[in-house]
Amino acid sequence: MKKRLAKSTPSSQTVAKKKLPRAPSRKTSASARSSPPAFRLLQRDRLAVALWLRDRLAERYPETPVPLHHRDAYTLLIAVLLSAQCTDARVNTVTPQLWKLADTPEKMAVQSAKDVESLIRSCGLAPQKSKAIVELSKILVRLHKGQVPRDLHQLEELPGVGHKTAQVVMAQAFGVPSFPVDTHIHRLAARWGLSSGKNVLQTERDLKQLFAPEDWNALHLRIIFYGREHCTARGCDGPRAHRQGGRLCPLCSALATSSWRS
């Protein structure tokens, strides 16, 4: 669950923040350079494919447990923040020690960023994340009575909380229909012809138009699960690669051969 941590705090209590630096660039692999463009569907087929995919994913993943371990909305918020440029598995090994130090906004607000940083270093971008964690905890205590706000825009105003993180909290902590788009969802939506794949915001808009709000919260997790297990960045080349003998996961194979229609 990757994201960019950069937000402004209320003007009355300005907190200096910098955008988290991008991970060091790597040379593009041959497989990535040769990956096919987004799969194109006829407009009349797009909704039918979307509903077929929704049903197949529900069959594969009837349960949709939240991947990040948490106790409440606050610990989920911190876990999602830590997951930027880090795996969920790594975050889940780090947070137990962090919760021993502080597991509420009130306790975290009085910690030093250095103490927090020492516990989260293996998650990457620790200096920036630790400052954001402490500062957002202070804001929650000062402005929200120690509670995580159940409001997307108020969440996005917190240090280190971007649009995707805010949507994850709204969906998984409060049950509000949301469709946070991570790299897996962005990749699969393009592969399956559900979005142009130009950017994550466009992907989010396209998916919200295709699926009913009551499907969003479970479906976004199911797509992530499938993207991690089957339709990986290097393990599947997508339906457009079918004629070139590319590697296909089960759902991409069905789309490539039109067997989804049967």
pLDDT tens track for 204-240: 999 999 999 999 999 999 999 999 999 999 999 988 8
Question: What is the pLDDT of the chain when averaged over all its residues?
Answer: 86
- Which long-range contacts (C-beta less than 8 Å, at least 24 apart) are formed by 167-173? 168/1, 168/76, 168/80, 169/73, 169/76, 169/77, 169/80, 171/216, 171/217, 171/220, 172/66, 172/76, 172/217, 173/72, 173/73, 173/76, 173/77, 173/148
Angle, helix 213-229 to helix 200-210, in steps of 10 degrees: 120
Of 60-74, 113-127, 243-257, give the lowest mean pLDDT range.
243-257
Active site residues: 164, 182
Q: What is the CATH number of domain 66-172?
A: 1.10.340.30
Model confidence pLDDT, tens digit, residues 150-177: 999 999 999 999 999 999 999 999 999 9
The pLDDT score that the predictor gives to residue 107 is 98
Question: Residue 137 pLDDT more than 50?
Answer: yes
| pLDDT tier, 34 (very low <50, low <70, confident <90, very high otherwise) | very low
Among 2-16, 93-107, 118-132, 215-229, where is mean pLDDT lowest? 2-16
Token pair of 213 as six digits:
């709000």
pLDDT at position 41: 62
- Cα separation of 4 and 229, whole Å? 24
Query: Is 39-64+179-261 in CATH node 1.10.1670.10?
Result: yes
Q: Whole-model pTM?
A: 0.81
- Domain residue spans of the chain: 39-64+179-261, 66-172
pLDDT at 1 over 50: no
